[in-house]
Amino acid sequence: MGKLLVYLHVAVKQRAFQGLLGAGLPGVDTTAVGRVADFERALQDAPDAVLTLPVVLAAQGLTPTLRGLTRGSAEERYGLVGAGSAPEPGKVASVGALDLLGRDGTNRFVRRLVGQQARVERVTKIEDLLPLLQMQRVDAVLLPARLVADLRAASRLALSMRELDLTVGLPAVASTGPGAAGVLGAISKMPKDVSKLLGVEEWR
Amino acid sequence: MALTRRSFIMGLPALAGGAISCSAGPGERSGAGRDAVLFSTHSTKPGSKSILVCMPETRQTSEVWRGLSDELAQEFELIALRTEGDDVMATIARGMDRYRPAGLVLMNNPTVEGYRRLQAQAASAAFPPAVIVMSSFLEGKPAHLRAATGISYEVPLITVVTNLRKLIATPIDRIGVVHRAALTGFVQRQAALAHREQTAVVREEVSQAPNASEIKRALRRLKQRCDAIWVLNDDRLLTPRLLADGWLHGLNEPPWVPIIVGAASLVSPSQSFGTFAVLPDHTALGAQAASLMLDIADNDWILPNAGATQLPLSTTTTVDLTQAKERFALRPSALAQVDKVLER
């Protein structure tokens, strides 16, 4: 049985996500984590494969061997969401974002997308982006455009989105151990509803 | 076998720590007088400054430490001192003398009180900036301390309602709350924030030391007018006697409305009380405190935003699924949005 480490932020709780992965990847010993520090610790446990965003793989010196695609593309659009009018990238003073890469790495990632002027407020879960807007801690939050519908469904604030020009890589898999081939095979056959949760239609 | 009402009430240890007094339990008092270093981390950065973390030793404080140290350990030397029992003030004083910290993190009410007494004894001394966490009803700028800010421990009503709406299919527009006059300001501020999410708050004020009949009466009135009841973590209202003779009677009769609580121990499928608990995510709370400390460091160790406290951003949720399924219509995706599901 191969070991898979998953570090992705999805629109369901970690408990539910772990259950879906377990059912969707039979024969694979799957560990899902949601915090970058937990991810870095879990990497020390020698997984056979790692499923996360390419930007996270790159930060660890890993290269994707299997990529998630949607509509034939391995990249997706991100959106900037604010309460009221749609935020202007390049003008937002403060942006809430998922903590993908720790403080410095996440600051760089966010500023590449929205501009160097932005002060970045990091959170560890997708659901924690909404409180940043509700409590008026930031001007806008940054997230994959496909997740904006979930944000809107959870709130009665008048949320507006601006899609960004730059794109971000969809989840991908890196081989890190001798059991990787089996894990990659299982991911390629992952049920469509689980893949969809990751923003992926097919694996190549 | 179902829990009896008495065994349910006797099994509420978390409430004692989570309610307004935050008093130390018997287990915590066993460490009185010691000032052992609980944890420490060493930065690889030359000349890094020290942060002193003053905390009792509990599962929750350890989670906060985890979030803190994950964020700060590369940049700073972190020292966690056990602050429990009667010796809290002296322990903090010894720690400050020994480690000369650039900043402090203070966890729970007795620790904050010990630090307040230390500041009062040294009225003219300069103190480093401090970040307070896990202290009840912390709001605005902590007026009783110099150079202190922090993060409230109470989950804001706006967050509570957002979470409840993900679970319950029927509209949640009006939230009822029973409170003492002492907490009127807190409830009004929560109501103002919740208004942004089109949530109205209906208040029932009870006396400073209410009896069970007052609680039952207030609950019956609220249940006629509200879509859910929000139970504050006020230990004056959640005494074993009031729980047994007031709350449990008032809540366990129709009309049914979801009951939102702020203590996991108040959600039990064996004894219907809370439908849904929304609690701070302690690891995320530690990370939020670390971000605040990093902002202070970036600001040359001066409190930013005039020291205004923050609200906690991240929560964990627990549902009594037995009660929720029996009494309410759940959204199809409800269980994917809850951290812990309890079922008889």
Single out the residue of B232, B228, B272 nearest to residue B252, CA to CA: B272
pLDDT confidence bin for B19, thresholds 50/70/90: very low
- Greater confidence (B7 vs B26) lies with B7
Same domain, A161 and A176: no
Which range is least confidently modeled, A118-132, B26-40, B56-70?
B26-40
pLDDT confidence bin for B341, thresholds 50/70/90: very high
pLDDT the model gives residue B13: 41
CB B64 within 8 A of CB B86: no
Measured in whole angstroms, how far is the alpha carbon of residue A25 from the centre of its chain?
19
A113: pLDDT strictly greater than 70 = yes
* A134/B198 Cβ within 8 A: no
CB A21 within 8 A of CB A194: yes
Q: How many CB atoms lie within 10 A of CB A9?
A: 23
pLDDT the model gives residue B10: 55
B100: pLDDT strictly greater than 90 = yes
All domains in chain B, ordered by first residue: 16-153+281-307 (3.40.50.2300), 155-280+315-342 (3.40.50.2300)
Our count of domains for chain A comes to: 2
pLDDT confidence bin for B34, thresholds 50/70/90: very low
Q: d(Cα B316, Cα B24) in Å, to the nearest integer? A: 23
Query: B314: which chain A residues are within 8 Å (Cβ-Cβ)?
Result: 123-125, 128, 131
Dihedral of alpha carbons B38, B43, B44, B46, sign: negative
Q: Does A148 touch chain B (CB under 8 A)?
A: no
pLDDT the model gives residue B36: 84
Q: d(Cα B331, Cα B341) in Å, to the nearest integer? A: 15
Q: Where are the alpha helices (DSSP H) in chain A?
A: 14-24, 36-43, 54-59, 102-114, 129-134, 148-153, 180-188, 192-197
B172-217 per-position pLDDT tens digit: 999 999 999 999 999 999 999 999 999 999 999 999 999 999 999 9
* A130/B162 Cβ within 8 A: yes
To the nearest whole angstrom, how far is the Cα of B194 from the nearest Cα of chain A?
9
Q: How many CB atoms lie within 10 A of CB B211?
A: 14
Q: What ipTM does this complex have? A: 0.94
Annotate B219-252 with three-state secondary structure: HHHHHHHCCEEECCCCCCCCCHHHHHHHHHHHHC
Query: B310: which chain A residues are within 8 Å (Cβ-Cβ)?
Result: 137
pLDDT the model gives residue B27: 32
Q: Mean pLDDT, to the nearest integer, of B268-291?
A: 94
Same domain, A107 and A119: yes
Burial class for A77, CB neighbours closer than 10 Å (0-12, 13-18, 19+): middle
Long-range contacts of the stretch A185-189 (C-beta < 8 A, 24+): A186/A2, A186/A4, A186/A25, A186/A26, A186/A27, A186/A28, A187/A4, A187/A25, A187/A49, A187/A51, A187/A66, A188/A66
Q: Mean pLDDT, to the nearest integer, of B51-73?
A: 97
* A103/B314 Cβ within 8 A: no
Q: d(Cα A102, Cα A122) in Å, to the nearest integer? A: 9
Q: Mean pLDDT, to the nearest integer, of B16-27?
A: 36
Q: Where are the alpha helices (DSSP H) in A115-191?
A: 129-134, 148-153, 180-188
Q: d(Cα A139, Cα A93) in Å, to the nearest integer? A: 7
Residues pairing with B319 in the sheet? B276, B341
Which range is least confidently modeled, B164-178, B187-201, B255-269?
B255-269
A21-34 per-position pLDDT tens digit: 999 999 999 999 99
pLDDT the model gives residue A146: 96
Same domain, A38 and A51: yes
* A16/B336 Cβ within 8 A: yes
CB B256 within 8 A of CB B327: yes
The H-or-E segment that residue A167 falls in is strand A159-169
CB B227 within 8 A of CB B256: no
Same domain, A103 and A21: no
Q: Mean pLDDT, to the nearest integer, of B263-285?
A: 92
Query: A123: which chain B residues are within 8 Å (Cβ-Cβ)?
Result: 284, 313-314
pLDDT the model gives residue A193: 95
Write the CATH number for A120.
Answer: 3.40.190.10
Which range is least confidently modeled, A8-17, B76-85, B142-151?
B142-151
Q: How many CB atoms lie within 10 A of CB B36?
A: 10
CB B38 within 8 A of CB B80: yes
pLDDT the model gives residue B15: 45
Same domain, A109 and A130: yes
Chain B residue with Cα closest to A99: B287
Write the CATH number for A27.
Answer: 3.40.190
Single out the residue of A160, A165, A204, A164 nearest to residue A184, CA to CA: A204
Domain assignment of residue A105, given as a range: 75-168
B32: pLDDT strictly greater than 60 = no
Same domain, A139 and A183: no
For the record, the structure tokens of A168 come out as: 């971000």
Query: B154: which chain A residues are within 8 Å (Cβ-Cβ)?
Result: none
pLDDT the model gives residue B6: 54
Measured in whole angstroms, how far is the alpha carbon of residue B315 from the centre of its chain?
10
A20: pLDDT strictly greater than 70 = yes
